[in-house]
Chain A
Amino acid sequence: MKNKIEYDKYTVNTIRIGITTCLLGVILSFGPPLYLYLVYGAIPPGKSILSGYLVILSMFGISYFTDMIAFYPVAGLTGIYMGYFAGNMSGLRLPVMLAAREALGINQQSEPKKAEIVGTIAMGASVFVSVAATSLVAIIGPWILSVLPQVIIEAFDYASPAIMGTLVAIVGRQDVKRFVIASVLAGVVLFMDLPALFNFPLVIFASIAISLYEYKKHKEKAEEEDRKEEKDKEVQFE
């Protein structure tokens, strides 16, 4: 097959692990619903399942793919396979990945391989922690609630925006101008009050379009300056 792309061993492993585990995930996901059907005879009518599925598709159909497009450049193959499967991408996996790169002073553009592996290790750690946490809560949940002071429990209501704040700081500092533009776009989109379905794709694609446009202009300017230099050199030799 012409144009076959050669992947290095790391990537081959990544894809292999990813496809196997995600396939297993799809199959095993049906465990509980099937159990309920086989043991209790409980199952919604096919029509209901279908109409429910259509509702889900209308709400998230685009997100399944745009999330991947948006996170893939930063998270890499491993980041998506793991992040998607373990869940909580923007609230936990991504922040942890970025935090690890930040802590080690690794820039993804200049050291992509390092960034990929560091991100992988950190995300793996986050999976262990999150599963341990949910398991802990499953076992002694009510006791935890009874022991923690009320103030702390109420403070956890702000965990989500807090984590988002740290992400805003990390991503914003990478390129302030671009982030300000993206924030303005986000503000405009929110103000327009469209169905939620359109918000993310709109902002993502607008942000990409603006960045690509600026890049094109920058490239053209650089090429113009190269041409001027060439012309000046010609003049010198006349």
Chain B
Amino acid sequence: MENLDYMQVANDPKLWLVTIPIIAVVVIQAILYVRNGLSHAKEADLSKEECKKAFKVGIVSSIGPSFGVVTVMLSMIAILGTPVTWQRLSMVGNAQQEMLMAEIGAGLYNTQVGRPGYGLEQFTASMWMQTLHGINWLIAVLLLLHRMEKVKVRVAKKDAYILPIVGSAALAGVIAMLGATQAKSSNGNAIALLIAALSMVVFTKLGDKYKSFRKLKEYGVGFSMLIAMVLTRLIMGPK
């Protein structure tokens, strides 16, 4: 009985009224930033062609990963309702983190999302955890980011090479760690990662060498993803 109650609330159409505004801000922010970039593109020696290309590559490369959210989103909708799922997956954080937060909320009542004992109050707790986690990211940015820019300018004045080195090292660390975690998690994931990486290298090298393969390099991320996903599924078979 309790379960039905909370799902009805979770799918309350009026919830859209409180979730749409923030996603509107997300989209407006993106529009403002793209406009800011475009209006200063000439100063940076960027041609209109290059800007258009950047936008095209942005769109095409996003399609694959965005639809990867599809399957997660559908299972989340089944237990957290559509409005909140839509909101949380369209902004801060990613699907795994949102589910984790929801579970932490449920855990406060010694239950799990969608299981017996998970009712309206537990659903609310899940949402509070998701909200708090989300704003933490934003607060960290608000507190620190503009200061980091100041630090960057000062350090760059002392030694122009240090920041790029720190940056590249940090990025390598993050990607290596993320990749290693993925590879360790399952054979299928390790295979997908490997195939995608190899495809990406091949496409980039081909695109660099032969003019006719230039499109391959441009959309390399999308192609590599597709190939890796499909091949891995064929190799690993049904779950």
Chain A interface (Cβ < 8 Å from any Cβ of B) = 5, 7, 9-11, 13-15, 17-19, 21-26, 28-37, 39-40, 42-44, 48-49, 51-53, 55-57, 59-60, 64-65, 67-74, 77-78, 80-82, 84-92, 95-96, 99-100, 102-104, 108-109, 111, 113-114, 116-118, 120-135, 137-138, 141-142, 144-145, 150-151, 153-175, 178-179, 181-183, 185-187, 189-190, 199-200, 203-208, 210-212, 215
Give chain A residues whose Cβ lies under 8 Å from the Cβ of B66.
92, 126, 129-130, 132-134
Interface residue SS majority, chain B: helix
Contact A165 B228, beta carbon cutoff 8 Å? yes
Give chain A residues whose Cβ lies under 8 Å from the Cβ of B15.
32, 35
Chain B: residues with Cβ within 8 Å of the partner, total of 152
Q: Of A33, A70, A95, A215, which is within 8 A of B61 by CB?
A: A95
A177 to B120, CA, bound (A): 53
Closest Cβ of chain A: how far from B226's Cβ, in Å?
8
Give chain A residues whose Cβ lies under 8 Å from the Cβ of B238.
150, 154
Contact B239 A169, beta carbon cutoff 8 Å? no
Contact B120 A73, beta carbon cutoff 8 Å? no
Q: Judge if B229 is at the interface, Cβ distance under 8 Å.
A: yes
**Shortest 9 CB-CB distances between A and B: which pairs?**
A73-B167, A165-B196, A125-B58, A159-B68, A122-B58, A31-B18, A169-B200, A207-B173, A124-B34
Closest Cβ of chain B: how far from A217's Cβ, in Å?
12
Contact B105 A52, beta carbon cutoff 8 Å? yes
A178 to B175, CA, bound (A): 12
Give chain B residues whose Cβ lies under 8 Å from the Cβ of A15.
145-146, 149
Give chain B residues whose Cβ lies under 8 Å from the Cβ of A13.
36
Contact A126 B33, beta carbon cutoff 8 Å? no
A122 to B60, CA, bound (A): 10
Given A92-B66, A164-B196, decide whether A99 and B184 contact each other with a Cβ distance below 8 A: no
Contact B174 A103, beta carbon cutoff 8 Å? no
A-B contact pairs, 22 of them (CB 8 A): A5-B150, A5-B153, A22-B141, A29-B131, A29-B135, A42-B9, A44-B105, A51-B108, A56-B101, A59-B100, A70-B171, A73-B166, A99-B220, A100-B53, A122-B55, A122-B58, A129-B63, A159-B67, A186-B179, A186-B180, A203-B173, A203-B177
